[in-house]
Structures are given as C-alpha cells and as structure tokens.
Structure 1
Amino acid sequence: MAEKKLRKGEEVTWSSHGQTVHGEVVEKITEDTRAATRQVRASEDDPQYRVRSDKTGKDAVHKPSALRTPKK
C-alpha cells in the first residue's frame, strides 16, 4: 500500500479516545526521536507525523494510516 503524502500545514483528522480530532500536520518524522512527550520510532520507510490539535493546541504523533484528510 502506498504511503499517504501529507504536507506541513495540511488539515487532518484522527481518532483519540473515541473522538474525532481536527488539526494540522506539523512535521514528518523520519528518524527515531522524542516528540509529543514520547519516544517515536520512525524511519524513511516507516515515517510518522507530528500533528497539532486545533482545539487544544497539543501535539500527537501518528502513523500515516491513522490520519485522514477531510473531504472538501
């Protein structure tokens, strides 16, 4: 399955504790690092995305498969 191509600033939604959260992509993570208060395992072949909630302003990190782009 092809990786989703998400860009910085792109609007996305994701599920968190049974709720749909709206926010935007902050950065694509392609190496192991600390982000959103946790250790993130990522690589060029298995990237993750740091996203920021519109409502709370808090960051989260998700795999591309967990992020949805809203239909316009």
Structure 2
Amino acid sequence: MADPIINDIGESGAPSIGGDSGLNLNKRLDCEHLDQMTDNWTDYQRPSFVTVLLRFFGNVFVDIFNAIFG
C-alpha cells in the first residue's frame, strides 16, 4: 500500500525551472527606505520582562534547593 504523504510530495515541491517564483532579482535595493520595504514582525506571545526575571530567579531558587536538599 502506498503512503499518501509520499505521494503528495511531487505536487507541493519546488517551482519548475523558469517558472514565476515571485522574486524580482533585477530590482535594486533601496537602502534609504529599507524599513518600508521589509515587514515588521511582532511576537505577541513574548513574555514581559518581569515574567522573565521571575522565571530566572525561580529556576535559580529551585536549583539551590535541589543542591542543598537533593
């Protein structure tokens, strides 16, 4: 019996040679307006600085507790 995942690889592979890849390699890079050419990515799941500090010192406390009583 053929694996259905392997059969789907040919359809979703790389674009054909000479096909439209969506990239214009002849376009010059506009260094003066570089921030407008790129997309800004915001991580909404990033924890706050206080949360990172509490996790860090919590881990240090647990390590010290395990070293003393472990």
> Which bin holds the TM-score, normalised by the shorter protein?
under 0.3
Task: Give the number of the structure whose residues are more often helix, by fraction.
Answer: 2
Superposition TM-score, scaled by structure 1 size: 0.16
TM-score by length of 2: 0.16
Where relative contact order (Cα < 8 A, 6+ residues apart) is larger, the structure is 1
